[in-house]
Structure 1
Amino acid sequence: MLKQLFVTAGLTFCLAAAAQNNITGYVYVDNNNNGQFDKKETGLAGVAVSNGRNIAVTDKNGLYQLPVSNDNIIFVIKPSGYQFKMNQYNQSGFYYIHKPQGSPTSSKYKGVAPTPALPKNLNFALSQQNEPVDFSVLVFGDPQPYNEQELSYFSKSIVDDVRTGSHVKFGISLGDIVGDNLNLHLPYKEIMTKLKMPWYNVMGNHDMNYEATTDSLSDETFERNFGPNNYSWNYGNTHFIILDNILYPDPRDAKGYWGGLRPDQIEFLRNDLALVDKNKLVVISFHIPFSNEGGDAIRLEDRQAMFDLLKDFDNCLLMSAHTHFQKQIYYKTSDGWQGKSQALHEYNVGTTSGDWYSGELDAAGIPDGTMRDGTPRGYAFLNIKNNKYNLRYKVAGKDSAYQIRIYAPKIVARNSRGAAPFYANFFMGSEKDLVEYKFDNGKWAEMLRDSTFDYTYLDMVTRWDETTTLLQGRRPSAPVATGHLWSAPVNKKLAPGTHTIHVRVKDVYGNIHEEQQSYIIQ
């Protein structure tokens, strides 16, 4: 009789074999890479397999058993040191879609076609690979093209800008892969092949089937194009989790969407984390920030459920996008965080589409796209060393050292009265960073965090109002206050002539960033 370790609701018990609604199979090492479990090949013990809610762990022969319904995606939680074969779009073959009735045909965009009867054994083939504990991950927020033109902007200004070495092992897009036109999923996938690395995708609110009448059906086209939208895998000493945190239709009034998690997703998260070593780094990626910005963006009990499941882990990072600005969020006890670490960090990543591809066109015909908080369009690198991490933002089209933009008067009157502040926008900044300034060869002094708008961005917006000739491109959105701006007064007492403002940042990870700008005293 088959006995299978099976995890549900945080408990472990044994399932006796073969009921009609169960699926069995093997996870094995495919030594000859032929996709067949041959007699001389070995099953892998201790590998987790999930139906999106329950998790089974393979026995000593690599055998698993799981319940299965008429709408399930069965997937393997990849163990460290192994890999799945990639398809032509660099997507991992870690899953199998089981939908014998297919997706509803009433949707504007195609879902999954009816799938054949399940095989006697649903097997998953792995091969060994070297996985260092020090590596990097490329992170994209909201590509969100609404048409082919904007998809071209994304390709030329973001994908073509990426320069990576062998230390970057894979990438993650944090949702809103497209802007409502789900037919653009396929050309997006084709563009992403240029990066030549495995790629994982989060579902965003603009990747949904809006005709769906239940949340469980809102992802039918996403599943067709990308597979499951709740899953996990291991790499090195890190455990990665992807979650769809969009509730649609909104359970409060069936209008629009709401941020949160369904009970089955929370159960999957509970079962998944129950198998993860507490010393590992846990990285959870989703689309809508859990910060509840605006007061009602997230169902707070779902956030609390996630916090409670993470509290015993020493090292955690949350990553989101959606907002089209960049922010470092630190959840504390006042937010319901009761974990070992003093605060739980969520990085709300700046978007590759920026301010929805708005702004003036450059010489190549690409829109500026600076975000409402003054962060230029770009992407991020998550750098991991064992079970610790640091983050770095890369501005598209700029050298990687460009991390700060200074806004200052170009000329001031010597010894004049009145304020003449200058501002430093450190794009990755938070209250945990030290930002200092000096003039010429003077002494360093600390700048103060300022909650005002980024004036460089404000100038970009007002230019559209003040022009008497039409500008090429689209008017940017109104500015928002930023959490990564610092200010100090310009020194007007120096001798007449040109002087240099120096800004230096020591960030939360101990990195030093510098920028400078000149001004004239007359």
Structure 2
Amino acid sequence: MRRINLIAAGMLFTFGSYAQETAKGYIYSDRNLNGKREKMESGIPNVAVTNGIDVVLSDKNGYYELPVSNDQIISVIKPSGYKVRTNEDQLPQFFYNHKPAGSPALKYKGVAPTGKLPVSIDFPLSPSKEDSNFRALIFGDPQPYTLQEVDYFDKGVVSELEGVKNVAFGLSMGDLVGNNPDLFMPYIKAIKKIGIPWYNLMGNHDINFDVKEDKYSDESFEAHFGPADYAFNYGDVHFIVLDDILYPDPRDGKSYWGGLRKDQLEFVANDLKFVPKDKLVVIAFHIPIGEAGNNEGFREEDRKRLFELLADFPNTLSLSAHTHNQRQIFFLKKDGWKQEKAHHHYNVGTTSGNWYSGELNDQGVPVSTMSDGTPKGYAFINFKGNQYDVDYKVAGKSKEYQIEISAPKVVQHDLKTSAGIYANFFMGSEKDVLVYRVDGGAWKKMAYMPESDPSFLDILHKWDHTETLLSGRRPGAASDCHHLWRAAVPVNLAPGEHTIEVKATDMYGKTFTQTKTYKILEKSVN
């Protein structure tokens, strides 16, 4: 029986004739970067390894043992100061997919048979300088349903990030494709162009729908990306990535529900046993974990259990996507959170926007503004030790574009109007304060006003009132914008053009401004 080194999951290997119930191997320092454990390469102690439930640490020689069944993935939990190998498509290779008989017969291909368990499943790591201050790139829902939409994703988002500098890695927050795992590879080839290691998590449009048990719903995902539940460290941050789609819905066997299985919560509990309490813990999943008073999309008891597991970690952040809107949610003790400091949940905006809808822009790509008025884009999370802040970048626009102002173009002098000045601060929340002024006057506070964004309604009205066909397709209905503020339009200023200036300060203390002009006119007398 020969020893095997991890190069990529899902490949076929030749093994000996003895099946094993225990996975064994070494975590070692791959000094020559060839992916093969050699005599001169020493083992690395105290590195976490998991079978997706149990988590163990390697011993002083880098050796580990884990129980394994015939349908489990063994993965190393990358320690800080080391990097894992990536394949030619920039996908991190931190796992071994153990499926002796392969995936069950499904419409979309799963994992090919891997044969018997190898004598040794070894994980190569290479020392890497990791600054505790680093940046990660986050995509919400690329979700192409066709090759043309993969092209929209490529041209509209990926192209402006090719060769991006000073970014440690990327993460896509699920719905990598739209109900067609055959599009995984075109998606992967597009993402590869960015040129950085790229992690992925599973969304409700990435599953195998022709299964009767949730544990088989990720077979095609596993064949392309590895485990749907995994963890890794970078700097002073511990990342946990989870598949939070329960399919079929355990309530009625139809559709899906947000939640976590018992074995997934066991994995989180076992993983956190080896995470220092002063680390920042970031948990990423596709479906949001709910909000105060409205948790219909996610199983309540799973959120409570997750909060219990995080109770002793003072620095936390959770991430989701799924809604095709952008929102900041803060969980308090009344919501089941166990600490005085609120837990921040960031529901990330999407690279597909409103499902590639809207008119085509100069690139021939749909504008695709989200239904809360957030332009399509992506986020950068800036980690500073065990703290963080977030930047949202609108695709195709300057990084300074953080606010969209809606206001009437013309109002009548001294005639009271029901029209308002609206400011959509894309990264905002009700905790923030927005102020405005006109013509450089005194700053005045705007009122938080969660309702439909007027700028998005303008888009819908253009489609509904046009007398000629527009390029692209009409977006879906407007939804409430949870980062919208309003102020009255001053009508008692002198006739002429006036400049509105809005200033927003985000939760991290960063300030953004945006301006817009309007005119005050005297009513003509005939």
- TM-score, length basis structure 2: 0.94
Q: How far 1:218 sits from its partner (Å)?
A: 0.1
Task: Map 1:342-381 to 2 at 5 A.
Answer: 342-381=341-380
Distance 2:32 2:254 in 1: 52
Partner in structure 1 of residue 473 of structure 2? 474
Find the counterpart in structure 2 of residue 201 from structure 1: 200
Q: What corresponds to 1:7 in structure 2?
A: none
Structure 2: distance between partners of 1:447 and 1:473? 35
| Segments of 4+ moved more than 6 angstroms | none
Q: 1:11 maps to which residue?
A: none
Q: Counterparts in 2 of 1:75-224, with a 5 A limit?
A: 75-105=75-105, 107-162=106-161, 166-224=165-223
How far does the alpha carbon of each residue in 1:90-129 deviate from its partner, in whole angstroms, 9 at most, with x for none? 0111100000011011x11000011022221111111100
Instruction: Give, in whole Å, the separation in 2 of the partners of 1:445 and 1:92.
Output: 50
| Distance (whole Å) between structure 2 residues aligned to residue 29 and residue 163 of structure 1 | 30
Deviation at 1:155, TM superposition (A): 0.3
Of 508-517 and 456-465, deviating more is: 456-465
What is the CA distance between 1:365 and its match in structure 2? 1.6
Larger deviation, residues 224-233 vs 468-477: 468-477
Q: 1:19 to 1:337 in 2, by over 3 A?
A: farther
| TM-fit CA distance, 1:464 | 1.4
SS of the residue 1:40 aligns to? coil
CA spacing shift, 1:408–1:164, aligned 2, 3 Å: farther
Describe the superposition over 1:46-90 as per-residue Cα deviations: whole angstroms up to 9, x where unpaired: 000000000111110100000000001000000000011110110
Match of 2:337 in 1: 337
| 2-structure distance, mates of 1:348, 1:58 | 35
Counterpart contact for 2:208–2:218, Cα < 8 Å: yes
Matched residue type, 2:125: L
Q: Counterparts of 1:417 and 1:136 in 2: how far apart (Å)?
A: 48
Superposed displacement of residue 35, structure 1: 1.9
Task: Note if contact 2:288-2:347 (Cα within 8 Å) is conserved in structure 1.
Answer: yes
Structure 1 residue matching 2:121: 3-state secondary structure: coil
In structure 2, distance between residues paired with 1:281 and 1:323 = 25
Distance 1:57 1:127, change over 3 A: same
Aligned-residue offset at 1:481 = 1.1
Instruction: Please state how far the C-alpha of 1:165 moved relative to its aligned partner.
Output: 5.1
Alignment size in residue pairs: 503
Paired residues of 2:108 and 2:220 also in contact (CA < 8 A): yes
Is 1:297 paired with 2:288? no
- Shifted more, 326-335 versus 293-302: the winner is 293-302
**Gap change, CA 1:55 and 1:99, over 3 Å in 2:** same
| Partner SS state of residue 184, structure 2 | helix
Alpha-carbon shift at residue 163 of structure 1 (Å): 6.5
Match of 1:58 in 2: 58
| Structure-2 separation of matches of 1:132 and 1:94 | 21
Matches within 5 A, 1:167-316: 167-291=166-290, 295-316=295-316
The answer (yes or no) to whether the contact 2:29–2:124 under 8 Å persists in 1 is yes
Task: Supply the distance in 2 between the matched residues of 1:113 and 1:163 (Cα, whole angstroms).
Answer: 32
1:261-309 Cα shifts (integer Å, max 9, x gaps): 0000000000011110111111111000001586421110001110010
Cα distance, 1:256 vs structure 2: 0.5
Cα distance in 2 between the residues matched to 1:146 and 1:438? 44
Partners in 2 of 1:266 and 1:86 — Cα distance? 28
Secondary structure at 1:126's aligned position in 2?
Answer: strand
- Partner of 2:481, secondary structure, is coil
Aligned residue in 2 for 1:36 = 36
Is 2:437 aligned against 1:438?
yes
Q: In structure 2, what is the equivalent of residue 9 of structure 1?
A: none
- Find the aligned partners of 2:263 and 2:451 in 1 and give their Cα distance: 42
Q: Deviations over 1:446-492 (max 9, x none)?
A: 10100221111001012111112111111111101111000001111
SS of the residue 2:205 aligns to: helix
Residue 281 of structure 2 aligns with an amino acid whose one-letter code is: V
Alignment partners' CA distance in 2, 1:498 and 1:273? 59
Deviations 1:366-388 (A, max 9, x none): 11100000000000000100000
Q: Is the 8 A contact 2:144 2:176 kept in 1?
A: yes
Q: Does the 8 A contact of 2:319 with 2:345 survive in 1?
A: yes
Q: What is residue 322 of structure 1 aligned with on the other side? A: 322
Aligned-residue offset at 1:417 = 2.3
Q: SS of the counterpart of 1:505? A: strand
Q: Is the 8 A contact 2:19 2:116 kept in 1?
A: no
What is the rounded CA distance, in whole Å, between the counterparts of 1:123 and 1:328 in structure 2? 41
Match of 1:427 in 2: 426
* CA positional deviation for 1:167: 2.5
Taking the aligned partners of 1:48 and 1:395, their CA distance within structure 2 comes to 37
d(CA) in 2 for partners of 1:54 and 1:146? 36
Across the aligned residues of Structure 1 and Structure 2, the Cα RMSD in angstroms comes to 1.3
Tell me, in whole angstroms, the C-alpha distance in 2 between the residues paired with 1:420 and 1:146: 39
Per-residue deviation, 1:406: 0.2
Alpha-carbon distance between aligned partners in 2 of 1:186 and 1:374, rounded to the nearest angstrom: 31
Summarize the Cα distance change of 1:84–1:194 in structure 2 as closer, same or farther, 3 Å threshold: same
Separation (CA, whole Å) in 2 of partners of 1:320 and 1:164: 26
Q: Which amino acid aligns with 1:187?
A: P
Structure 2: segments with no counterpart, 5+ residues:
1-17, 522-526
Q: Percent identity?
A: 53
- In structure 2, how many angstroms separate the alpha carbons of the residues matched to 1:168 and 1:121? 34
Q: Which amino acid aligns with 1:437?
A: Y
Rate the CA distance shift 1:387–1:444 in 2: closer, same or farther, 3 A: same
Q: 2:207, 2:34 → 1: CA distance?
A: 35
Give me the whole-angstrom Cα distance separating, in 2, the residues matched to 1:263 and 1:295.
19
- Structure 1, unmatched stretches of 5+, are 1-17
How far apart are the structure 2 equivalents of 1:90 and 1:400? Answer: 26
